[in-house]
Homo-oligomer: A and B are copies of this chain.
Amino acid sequence: MASHLRVALFGAGRMGKRHGRTIALECPKATLVAICGPDLAAAEALASELGVPLATPDPATIFDDSSVDAVVIAASTSAHAQLIIEAARSSKEIFCEKPVTSDLVTTKEAIAAVDQAGVRLQVGFQRRFDKGCVAAKERIERQEIGRVEMIRDTMRDPSPPPPEYLPTSGGLFRDMSIHNFDNVRWMAGDEPEQVFAFGANLVDPIFEAAGDIDSSVVSIRFRGGGLALIDNSRRSGFGYDVRTEIFGSEGALFVGYSRETPILHFSDRGVTSDHVHWFLERFDDAFVKEIQSFVASIQNDTEPSVAGRDGHVAMAMAVAAEASIREAKPVDIDRFLV
């Protein structure tokens, strides 16, 4: 591997911009050489901002260029599978935003292509790089709370996404809870066995209209007997809420608070702190670190920190949660992992 990495980016939307800036500005040993997206104007604008020489709507331009070492896929979810497969075939290292693809069949195909090509695939579960989550995981591994027994994992957005986002989102479990599925599995250090879910439409009629739910509570049983609870909502009524509590045989760890600035305001209405409003702000550092880690894993020839398998299992948990609601019973994860 050349000591300096040449990276191409797919997607110039919200996450494309985030990852593009990281590669261009915060990875000294990598260069962003091309931005590819169906919205050429957006790709060109980002390329101009970041001093990237090439913007193109045509993925083949990237795949045919043997000087491109790696790709970062932040395109729409429906495009992931095809991009991963082609990137693998042209021997590019791959970072792909979560979810790997929108369903289990294509996820398996994509991972198979990656395995066959012998390239890396890192999945964009950025909580794996969050300062708080990483510190919790390290403390668990140092046995600070004994054996992990129970996990409570919460995530709620400040307000619903725009209606036009819903049809391509994949639904609450594949789009949002998938972060929690990966997180509880990571914190548990165990594989999930069974999942049960209740879903509800409480937030906005647009979700029901799209055949989706907007609120959910999910119970998970791990192979080793541990338990987890996940609750999600598309609207908090306050800021961005993402917290994890891990209970062990000898203590517990709580990860996450919601303050944006370290300020308390004392008034006749009480004592008030602010809260973080948006995931890009909450996970700003983690988004940078996951890309830096991807670049480092290539340059140091190590395994990526979050593998295709992790994306696969999280998707199976999401699909199992959907089945649990449909069938009104707990569902084995293995049914979706064969």
CB within 8 Å of B: which residues of A?
25-26, 28, 131-132, 135-136, 139, 144-147, 149-150, 152, 154, 156, 194, 196, 198, 200-203, 215-219, 221, 225-229, 231, 233, 235-239, 241, 247-259, 261-275, 328-330
Closest 5 pairs between A and B when the two form their complex, measured CB to CB: A251-B267, A238-B266, A252-B266, A254-B264, A272-B272
Given A231-B227, A263-B136, are A238 and B272 neighbors across the interface (CB < 8 Å)? no
Shortest distance from the beta carbon of A208 to any chain B beta carbon, whole Å? 11
Contact residues in B for A156 (Cβ distance below 8 Å)? 247
Contacts of A258 in B (CB 8 A): 266, 271
CA of A263 to CA of B243, assembled, Å: 10
Judging by beta carbons under 8 Å apart, are A263 and B253 in contact? Answer: yes
Q: Which of A25, A264, A275, A328 has the most CB of B within 10 A?
A: A264
Residues of B within 8 A of A267 (CB): 144-145, 237-238, 250-252
Q: Which B residues are in CB contact (< 8 Å) with A225?
A: 200-202
Given A149-B202, A272-B270: A263 in contact with B227 (beta carbons within 8 A): no
**Nearest-CB distance from A292 to chain B (Å)?**
13
Is B215 in contact with A217, judged by CB distance below 8 angstroms? no
What's the least CB distance linking A276 to chain B, in Å? 10
Expressed in whole angstroms, the minimum distance between the Cβ of A158 and any Cβ of chain B is 9
